[in-house]
Amino acid sequence: MKKISACIFDLDGVIVDTAKYHFKAWRRLANELGFDFTEKENEKLKGVGRIDSLKLILKWGGVKMDEASMQTLAAKKNEWYVEDVGKMTSDEIMIGVVDFLDELQAKKIKIGLGSASKNAVPILTQLEIKHYFEVIMDGTNVTKGKPDPEVFLKGAERLKIDPSNCIVFEDASKGVDAALKGGMYAVGVGKEADLGHAHHVIPDFKDLKFDALESILSTKEGIKQ
Protein backbone atom coordinates (compact mmCIF):
# COMPACT_ATOMS: atom_id res chain seq x y z
CA MET A 1 0.00 0.00 0.00
CA LYS A 2 1.20 3.51 -0.81
CA LYS A 3 1.60 5.98 2.01
CA ILE A 4 -1.58 7.92 2.77
CA SER A 5 -0.92 11.63 2.36
CA ALA A 6 -4.44 13.08 2.34
CA CYS A 7 -7.93 12.48 3.67
CA ILE A 8 -10.99 13.86 1.88
CA PHE A 9 -14.30 14.00 3.74
CA ASP A 10 -17.88 14.17 2.57
CA LEU A 11 -19.88 16.67 4.65
CA ASP A 12 -23.45 15.50 5.26
CA GLY A 13 -23.52 12.39 7.42
CA VAL A 14 -19.75 12.34 7.87
CA ILE A 15 -18.71 15.65 9.43
CA VAL A 16 -22.18 16.67 10.59
CA ASP A 17 -25.64 15.16 10.40
CA THR A 18 -27.51 17.68 8.28
CA ALA A 19 -29.76 14.99 6.77
CA LYS A 20 -32.54 15.86 9.23
CA TYR A 21 -32.52 19.48 8.04
CA HIS A 22 -32.60 18.44 4.38
CA PHE A 23 -35.51 16.09 5.11
CA LYS A 24 -37.41 18.77 7.02
CA ALA A 25 -37.04 21.30 4.18
CA TRP A 26 -37.79 18.85 1.36
CA ARG A 27 -40.80 17.49 3.22
CA ARG A 28 -42.12 21.00 3.80
CA LEU A 29 -41.82 21.63 0.07
CA ALA A 30 -43.57 18.36 -0.79
CA ASN A 31 -46.38 19.18 1.63
CA GLU A 32 -46.87 22.56 -0.05
CA LEU A 33 -47.25 20.66 -3.34
CA GLY A 34 -49.88 18.41 -1.77
CA PHE A 35 -48.04 15.19 -1.00
CA ASP A 36 -45.65 13.63 1.50
CA PHE A 37 -42.69 11.26 1.43
CA THR A 38 -41.01 9.04 3.99
CA GLU A 39 -37.67 9.01 5.78
CA LYS A 40 -36.92 5.75 3.96
CA GLU A 41 -37.41 7.51 0.62
CA ASN A 42 -35.27 10.37 1.93
CA GLU A 43 -32.36 7.92 2.30
CA LYS A 44 -32.29 7.72 -1.51
CA LEU A 45 -31.35 11.41 -1.61
CA LYS A 46 -28.01 10.84 0.14
CA GLY A 47 -25.18 12.19 -1.97
CA VAL A 48 -27.59 13.47 -4.63
CA GLY A 49 -27.46 17.09 -5.82
CA ARG A 50 -30.25 19.60 -5.18
CA ILE A 51 -32.05 19.54 -8.55
CA ASP A 52 -31.70 15.77 -8.95
CA SER A 53 -33.14 15.36 -5.43
CA LEU A 54 -36.08 17.56 -6.36
CA LYS A 55 -36.70 15.54 -9.53
CA LEU A 56 -36.88 12.35 -7.45
CA ILE A 57 -39.28 13.91 -4.95
CA LEU A 58 -41.53 15.25 -7.72
CA LYS A 59 -41.54 11.79 -9.28
CA TRP A 60 -42.66 10.26 -5.95
CA GLY A 61 -45.45 12.82 -5.78
CA GLY A 62 -46.47 12.41 -9.40
CA VAL A 63 -45.82 16.10 -10.06
CA LYS A 64 -44.43 17.46 -13.32
CA MET A 65 -43.04 20.95 -13.89
CA ASP A 66 -40.64 22.85 -16.11
CA GLU A 67 -36.98 23.55 -15.37
CA ALA A 68 -37.54 27.17 -14.33
CA SER A 69 -40.19 26.17 -11.78
CA MET A 70 -37.87 23.50 -10.37
CA GLN A 71 -35.09 26.04 -9.95
CA THR A 72 -37.48 28.31 -8.03
CA LEU A 73 -38.61 25.48 -5.73
CA ALA A 74 -35.04 24.29 -5.15
CA ALA A 75 -34.05 27.81 -4.13
CA LYS A 76 -37.01 28.02 -1.72
CA LYS A 77 -36.05 24.67 -0.15
CA ASN A 78 -32.47 25.88 0.24
CA GLU A 79 -33.59 29.06 2.01
CA TRP A 80 -35.43 26.96 4.59
CA TYR A 81 -32.46 24.62 4.95
CA VAL A 82 -29.93 27.45 5.38
CA GLU A 83 -32.20 29.06 7.98
CA ASP A 84 -32.10 25.86 10.05
CA VAL A 85 -28.39 25.09 9.69
CA GLY A 86 -27.66 28.69 10.63
CA LYS A 87 -28.77 27.73 14.15
CA MET A 88 -26.40 24.73 14.39
CA THR A 89 -23.71 24.57 17.03
CA SER A 90 -20.44 22.62 17.31
CA ASP A 91 -22.35 20.10 19.46
CA GLU A 92 -23.79 18.78 16.20
CA ILE A 93 -20.43 17.74 14.75
CA MET A 94 -20.35 13.94 14.47
CA ILE A 95 -18.72 12.15 17.39
CA GLY A 96 -14.93 11.81 17.18
CA VAL A 97 -14.53 13.96 14.07
CA VAL A 98 -12.66 16.88 15.66
CA ASP A 99 -10.25 14.57 17.49
CA PHE A 100 -9.51 12.77 14.22
CA LEU A 101 -8.99 16.06 12.36
CA ASP A 102 -6.61 17.17 15.12
CA GLU A 103 -4.65 13.93 14.72
CA LEU A 104 -4.43 14.36 10.95
CA GLN A 105 -3.09 17.88 11.37
CA ALA A 106 -0.53 16.70 13.92
CA LYS A 107 0.66 14.04 11.47
CA LYS A 108 0.73 16.59 8.61
CA ILE A 109 -1.85 14.65 6.61
CA LYS A 110 -3.57 17.00 4.16
CA ILE A 111 -7.32 17.49 4.69
CA GLY A 112 -9.93 18.21 2.05
CA LEU A 113 -13.71 18.29 1.71
CA GLY A 114 -15.61 16.72 -1.19
CA SER A 115 -19.36 17.34 -0.99
CA ALA A 116 -22.36 17.83 -3.27
CA SER A 117 -23.59 20.54 -0.89
CA LYS A 118 -23.57 24.14 -2.05
CA ASN A 119 -23.62 25.22 1.59
CA ALA A 120 -20.38 23.55 2.68
CA VAL A 121 -18.45 26.74 3.47
CA PRO A 122 -21.18 28.39 5.59
CA ILE A 123 -21.80 25.12 7.45
CA LEU A 124 -18.10 24.59 8.24
CA THR A 125 -17.85 28.25 9.25
CA GLN A 126 -20.93 27.97 11.46
CA LEU A 127 -19.41 24.90 13.16
CA GLU A 128 -16.04 26.70 13.55
CA ILE A 129 -14.07 23.92 11.81
CA LYS A 130 -13.42 25.46 8.38
CA HIS A 131 -9.77 26.07 9.28
CA TYR A 132 -9.05 22.32 9.21
CA PHE A 133 -9.72 22.06 5.47
CA GLU A 134 -6.99 23.07 3.04
CA VAL A 135 -9.29 22.46 0.09
CA ILE A 136 -13.09 22.62 -0.13
CA MET A 137 -14.67 21.11 -3.25
CA ASP A 138 -18.45 21.29 -3.27
CA GLY A 139 -21.51 21.92 -5.40
CA THR A 140 -20.31 25.45 -6.17
CA ASN A 141 -17.15 24.37 -7.98
CA VAL A 142 -17.90 20.97 -9.52
CA THR A 143 -20.40 20.10 -12.25
CA LYS A 144 -20.77 16.32 -12.01
CA GLY A 145 -22.53 14.65 -9.09
CA LYS A 146 -21.50 11.42 -7.38
CA PRO A 147 -21.00 8.60 -8.35
CA ASP A 148 -18.85 10.57 -10.79
CA PRO A 149 -15.47 11.01 -9.04
CA GLU A 150 -14.98 14.64 -10.15
CA VAL A 151 -15.35 16.18 -6.69
CA PHE A 152 -12.73 13.87 -5.18
CA LEU A 153 -10.33 13.98 -8.11
CA LYS A 154 -10.41 17.78 -8.15
CA GLY A 155 -9.86 17.77 -4.40
CA ALA A 156 -6.80 15.52 -4.74
CA GLU A 157 -5.50 17.72 -7.56
CA ARG A 158 -5.86 20.87 -5.47
CA LEU A 159 -4.14 19.15 -2.56
CA LYS A 160 -1.37 18.10 -4.99
CA ILE A 161 -1.73 14.47 -3.91
CA ASP A 162 -2.08 11.44 -6.20
CA PRO A 163 -5.56 9.89 -5.83
CA SER A 164 -4.03 6.54 -4.85
CA ASN A 165 -2.55 8.26 -1.79
CA CYS A 166 -5.94 9.51 -0.58
CA ILE A 167 -8.59 8.14 1.76
CA VAL A 168 -12.17 9.27 1.14
CA PHE A 169 -14.70 9.13 4.00
CA GLU A 170 -18.29 8.69 2.77
CA ASP A 171 -21.67 7.78 4.26
CA ALA A 172 -23.45 7.27 0.92
CA SER A 173 -23.18 4.32 -1.45
CA LYS A 174 -22.83 6.66 -4.44
CA GLY A 175 -20.04 8.49 -2.65
CA VAL A 176 -18.17 5.25 -2.07
CA ASP A 177 -18.64 4.44 -5.75
CA ALA A 178 -17.16 7.83 -6.65
CA ALA A 179 -14.11 7.27 -4.46
CA LEU A 180 -13.49 3.84 -5.96
CA LYS A 181 -13.90 5.14 -9.50
CA GLY A 182 -11.36 7.82 -8.65
CA GLY A 183 -8.81 5.21 -7.61
CA MET A 184 -8.87 6.16 -3.94
CA TYR A 185 -9.22 4.22 -0.72
CA ALA A 186 -12.85 4.38 0.37
CA VAL A 187 -13.88 4.27 4.02
CA GLY A 188 -17.61 4.03 4.61
CA VAL A 189 -19.07 5.79 7.64
CA GLY A 190 -22.22 3.97 8.67
CA LYS A 191 -23.50 0.43 8.22
CA GLU A 192 -21.63 -2.44 6.60
CA ALA A 193 -24.88 -3.54 4.93
CA ASP A 194 -25.06 -0.24 3.04
CA LEU A 195 -21.38 0.45 2.45
CA GLY A 196 -19.78 -2.98 2.28
CA HIS A 197 -18.20 -2.30 -1.10
CA ALA A 198 -15.84 0.22 0.54
CA HIS A 199 -12.35 -0.88 1.56
CA HIS A 200 -13.34 -0.51 5.20
CA VAL A 201 -16.44 0.58 7.13
CA ILE A 202 -16.55 2.41 10.47
CA PRO A 203 -19.71 3.19 12.50
CA ASP A 204 -18.33 6.64 13.38
CA PHE A 205 -15.07 8.39 14.23
CA LYS A 206 -15.14 7.65 17.95
CA ASP A 207 -11.67 6.47 19.06
CA LEU A 208 -10.52 6.15 15.42
CA LYS A 209 -6.74 6.40 15.08
CA PHE A 210 -5.07 7.18 11.77
CA ASP A 211 -2.21 4.68 12.18
CA ALA A 212 -4.66 1.86 12.95
CA LEU A 213 -6.79 2.76 9.94
CA GLU A 214 -3.76 2.92 7.66
CA SER A 215 -2.70 -0.48 8.94
CA ILE A 216 -6.12 -1.95 8.16
CA LEU A 217 -6.08 -0.51 4.65
CA SER A 218 -2.59 -1.91 4.07
CA THR A 219 -4.09 -5.43 4.30
CA LYS A 220 -6.54 -4.72 1.49
CA GLU A 221 -5.84 -5.87 -2.02
CA GLY A 222 -5.00 -2.51 -3.48
CA ILE A 223 -7.56 -0.12 -4.83
CA LYS A 224 -10.96 -1.60 -5.62
CA GLN A 225 -12.23 -0.85 -9.12
Q: Which CATH architecture has domain 19-85?
A: Orthogonal Bundle (1.10)
Give percent of the chain above pLDDT 70: 96
Question: Average pLDDT, stretch 24-32?
Answer: 96
pLDDT of residue 39: 86
CATH number among 3.40.50.720, 3.40.50.1000, 3.10.20.30, 3.30.1490.390, domain 6-16+92-218: 3.40.50.1000
Could you tell me the residue ranges of all domains in the chain? 6-16+92-218, 19-85
pLDDT in tens, 94-136: 999 999 999 999 999 999 999 988 889 999 999 999 999 999 9
At residue 1, the pLDDT reads 54
How far is Cα 145 from Cα 5, in angstroms, rounded to an integer?
25
Q: Do domains 6-16+92-218 and 19-85 have the same CATH topology?
A: no
pLDDT at 222: 54
Q: Longest Cα pair distance anywhere in the chain, in angstroms?
A: 53
pLDDT category at 30 given cuts 50, 70, 90 is very high
pTM value? 0.85
Q: Which residues are catalytic?
A: 10, 12
Q: Are 133 and 109 in contact (CB under 8 A)?
A: no
Q: Does 224 score more than 60 pLDDT?
A: no
pLDDT of residue 223: 57
Q: Output the CA–CA distances (angstroms, integers) from residue 219 to 14, 74, 189, in the order listed.
A: 24, 44, 19
Sign of the four-CA dihedral 91, 93, 96, 97: negative
